A = this chain, B = another copy of it.
Amino acid sequence: MEIDLAQRRVRVEQVGNGKAWWEPFDHLLIATGAVPFCPDVPGADAQGIYGLNTLQSGIEVRRAVDQEKPKKAVIVGGGYIGLEMAEGLLRRGLDVSLIDMASQVMNTLDPDMGALVSEALRDAGVELYLEEPLKGFEVEGERVQAVVTDQRTLPADLVILGMGVRPNSALAADGDIPLGVKGAIKVNDRMQTEVEGVWAAGDCAESFHLVSRRPFYVALGTVANKQGRVAGINLGGGYATFPGVVGTAITKVCAVEVARTGLQEKEIQRLGLEYINARIEYRTRARYYPDTGPITVKLLAEKGSGRLLGGQVVGIEGAAKRIDAVAVALHAGLTVDKMINLDLGYAPPYSPVWDPLLIAARQAIKLV
């Protein structure tokens, strides 16, 4: 593929039969998605090592588990994909190890909250090796035998790479379409690039962070879908804008639910803001109700003004989707002072009388 802006045409190559031609355009939408980070280490192309970024790659991993009956799996990377694969492989009966070069899994959480996720992983039976960069793979024949970190060699029948993604923006960059944050294609709220008639949406394109008020890159299906809708309306002659995101993400690791939205501490520090950290531990349901269990809620707010800056939740069933209320509060620019009076739903199967979010807000107003 190639974009020729001067003549407003795109070089199209048909997969499989070698046919290629120049296709003229009035409007061009670039929706090339993201590409996974692949480690540049010895043995990375061995058999038995799987990325997980397409439906096909998922099908291949399942086939490998079904047919090759691997016993030991090593996961490289403790993000959403790594954690979800850890759960999946545990359920299939494999021994699962996970390595991450960072000092915690889920680096979109603050360390104190990430530690709760690490604990949950260990409780579920995952061997966790943190602060251990990947050095390479031991390979025999063409098959992976082990994962090598700077500290150990972990035998592996199956390796999953979950090292994150970056925007697939090479086509745009080669065609002189300006890139923005983290190499994502620079777009405005209508999903227009800086070149007239050229649009971009999805994991290849920038977003705007409504809390930091800065351009932001996030590769998530929700955001890609919203951007696609807006780009489609505009390309069709309509008018729509995508104002941006607040950075919401949720996941599940075995019995533990994990959610985050807004800015985390290191992002707030980078912006030079002063902030307070209100973290509370409570219960998901009324004390006497069956299956009530622990939930930890953390709210971050601007010192002085009390403006909500972010929230993180780790807990058992019923914990994660609570983040939606925090996300809406961020969209609305609420202060924690306003949050303590939010009329959230209470009934014993769902919540204590004071929802954990409200308890965290009450803690927060003491600190701002």
Contact = CB atoms under 8 A, between A and B. Distances in A.
A338 interface: yes
Contacts of A334: 328, 331-332
A325 B342 CA distance: 10
B327 A350 contact: no
A345 B222 CA distance: 8
Nearest to A251: B347
Contact of A345 (B242, B327, B351): B327
Given A321-B322, A321-B351, A331-B338, A345 B248 contact: yes
B349 A324 contact: no
Interface in A182-219: 210
Interface string A331-349: 1101000101111111101
A226 interface: yes
A329 B328 CA distance: 6
Nearest to A262: B343
A232 interface: no
Given A222-B353, A242-B341, A324 B327 contact: no
A327 B344 contact: yes
Interface in A101-138: none
B354 A320 contact: no
Contacts of A220: 346
Which of A243, A244, A324 is most buried by chain B, counting CB atoms within 10 A of its CB? Answer: A324
11 contacts: A210-B343, A222-B346, A222-B353, A225-B353, A225-B354, A248-B344, A249-B345, A252-B347, A320-B350, A327-B342, A331-B338
Interface of A: 80, 210, 220-223, 225-226, 242-252, 259, 261, 318, 320-325, 327-332, 334, 338, 340-347, 349-351, 353-355, 357
